[in-house]
Structure 1
Amino acid sequence: MDEMALLKRSGGPVTRSRISRDLAALGLGRGDVVMFHTRMSAIGYVPGGPPTVIGALQDVVGPAGTLMVTCGWNDAPPYESVTWPQEWQDALRAEHPAYDADLSEADHGNGRLPEALRRLPGAVRSRHPDVSFAALGAAADALMADHPWNDPHGPGTPLAKLVALGGRVLLLGAPLDTLTLLHHAEALAEAPGKRYVDYEQPVLEDGRRVWRRFHDIDSQEGAFDYTPVVPEGEEPFAVIARDMLAAGIGRRGEVGAAESYLFEAGEAVAFARAWIEGKLAG
């Protein structure tokens, strides 16, 4: 979408001060620990791009607050590489660079904001290559420390710590199905048919590149088979989030031209876990 179209849709430039005012009206406040997901094009024309959005968020949460994003690793070895001819697999394993929390790019599929935030001075990124998060602010070190190698969406993870710190999740123009926090609910949920994956990726240990094996819920294809309880063509997380909003959990508002949502992390996880266990109990 070109700049003029964005300007018309948002009624003019969506400046830093305008974003700050809209975020405050939505309910974000000083000292908040907030994980955010953003779709820039939904907001409208933002002068300065991602740094403007990050700056506006910092203006609202203040120096005592913390911003958090989901990063992943854009150049991680493809999962399907285990099906390649052995010669190709051997070449990949011999030379694929290790994940580097300081240098490895965030997954481009997560948008521009995670990469922009993780590059900022003072930002801290977690050590898990496939499920890395980044944070900036007062609680950044605490959130990112000792990200478990296995079950990286479960207890002791940045998502679990976000809940423990009374954190919040902001969908800034991003669709409801991007609510990554719900993977934490899946990791905690006790329901039949939970699906897991095992995979290997290269990491640095004591300065050496090694291939480490990981065990996690299947966050790519789905930790559960939701087809019996989710209408065809719908995304499970979007359905759960809509039911959450209908139950009075979460707030909706506009930031620029973007339909946006603010959830309390603890309430969202509790609701989603109960939803999963109740719907999939068998």
Structure 2
Amino acid sequence: MDELALLKLSQGPVTRTRLVRDLGALGLRAGDVVMFHTRLSALGYVTGGAQTVIDALCEVVGDQGTLMVTCGWNDAPPYEWTTWPPEWQEAVRTEHPAFDPERSEADHSYGRLPEALRRRPGAVRSRHPDASFAALGAAAHRLMDDHPWDDPHGPDTPLARLVELGGKVLMLGAPLDTLTVLHHAEALADAPGKRFVDYEQPVEVDGRRVWRRFHDIDSAEGAFDYVPVVGDEIDSFEVIARDFLAAGGGTEGQVAAAASHLFDARELVEFGVRWLEEKLRR
């Protein structure tokens, strides 16, 4: 979308002042710990782009607040690399760089904001290569430190700590199927048919590059087979979020040109666990 189309969408430039006003009206407050997802183009023409959005969020939550994003690793070796021809596998195993929380780029498919935030001075990124998060603010280390290698969406992970800290989840024009916090609900839910993956990625341990094996729910293809419950035309996370909104959870509003949502992380995760356990046991 070109600049003129974006300007028409937002009926003029979207400034930091406008974002601060709209975020406050949606319910974001000073001191909040908030994980956010953004589709930047949905906001309209943001003067200053990703940095302006982060500046506005920082202004609203203040010095005692914290921002959090999901990062992943853009250049992680694909899960299926161990099925490649032996000589290709050897090349990857010998020379693929180790994950570096400070240098490895966030997954480009998550948009511009995660990479922009993780590069901010003072930002802290978790150590997990495949499920890494980043945070900026007063609670950054509490959220990010010692991210468990295995079950990285489960207990004592950045997502679990977001819930424990009374955090919020902000969707700035981002589709509801990108609600990463619901992977925490999947990890916690006691429901049949839960699917897991095991994979290898290179990390640095005591100054050495080593290949480590990881175990997690299948967050890529789905921790459960949702088709019998929601069909194959809509994502399960969007259904859970819509059901949560219909039950009175969360708030909806507009930030610049973007239809946006603000959720209480604990309430959403608890709802998600109940939804999974009830729907998937039928």
2:66 paired residue number: 66
2:274 paired residue number: 274
Trace 1:13-24 onto structure 2 (pairs within 5 A). Answer: 13-24=13-24
1:196 paired residue number: 196
2:11 paired residue number: 11
2:255 paired residue number: 255
Distance in 1 of aligned mates of 2:127 and 2:2 = 37
Trace 1:185-264 onto structure 2 (pairs within 5 A). Answer: 185-264=185-264
Whether 1:139 and 2:125 are equivalent positions in the alignment is no
Ranges in structure 2 where 5+ consecutive residues have no aligned partner: none
Distance in 1 of aligned mates of 2:13 and 2:91 = 49
Distance in 1 of aligned mates of 2:196 and 2:22 = 40
- Residue 127 of structure 1 aligns to a residue whose secondary structure is coil
Identical pairs, percent: 73
1:171 paired residue number: 171
Trace 1:103-114 onto structure 2 (pairs within 5 A). Answer: 103-114=103-114
1:89-123 CA-to-partner distances (Å, cap 9, x unmatched) read 01100000000000000000100000000000000
Distance in 1 of aligned mates of 2:105 and 2:217 = 23
Moved over 2 A (4+): none
1:182-230 CA-to-partner distances (Å, cap 9, x unmatched) read 0000000000000000000000001100000000000000000011110
1:82, CA displacement in angstroms? 1.3
Distance in 1 of aligned mates of 2:182 and 2:30 = 25
Distance in 1 of aligned mates of 2:92 and 2:61 = 43
- Residue 263 of structure 1 aligns to a residue whose secondary structure is strand
Distance in 1 of aligned mates of 2:133 and 2:73 = 10
- Residue 136 of structure 2 aligns to a residue whose secondary structure is strand
1:83, CA displacement in angstroms? 1.3
Amino acid at match of 1:255: V
2:35 paired residue number: 35
2:125 paired residue number: 125
Ranges in structure 1 where 5+ consecutive residues have no aligned partner: none
- Residue 58 of structure 2 aligns to a residue whose secondary structure is helix
Alignment TM-score, normalising by the size of structure 1 = 0.99
Distance in 2 of aligned mates of 1:231 and 1:133 = 30
1:232, CA displacement in angstroms? 2.8
1:80 paired residue number: 80
1:161 paired residue number: 161
1:181 paired residue number: 181
Amino acid at match of 2:222: G
- Residue 229 of structure 2 aligns to a residue whose secondary structure is coil
1:98 paired residue number: 98
Task: Count residues with an aligned counterpart.
Answer: 282
1:55 paired residue number: 55
- Residue 229 of structure 1 aligns to a residue whose secondary structure is helix
Amino acid at match of 1:218: D
Amino acid at match of 2:176: L
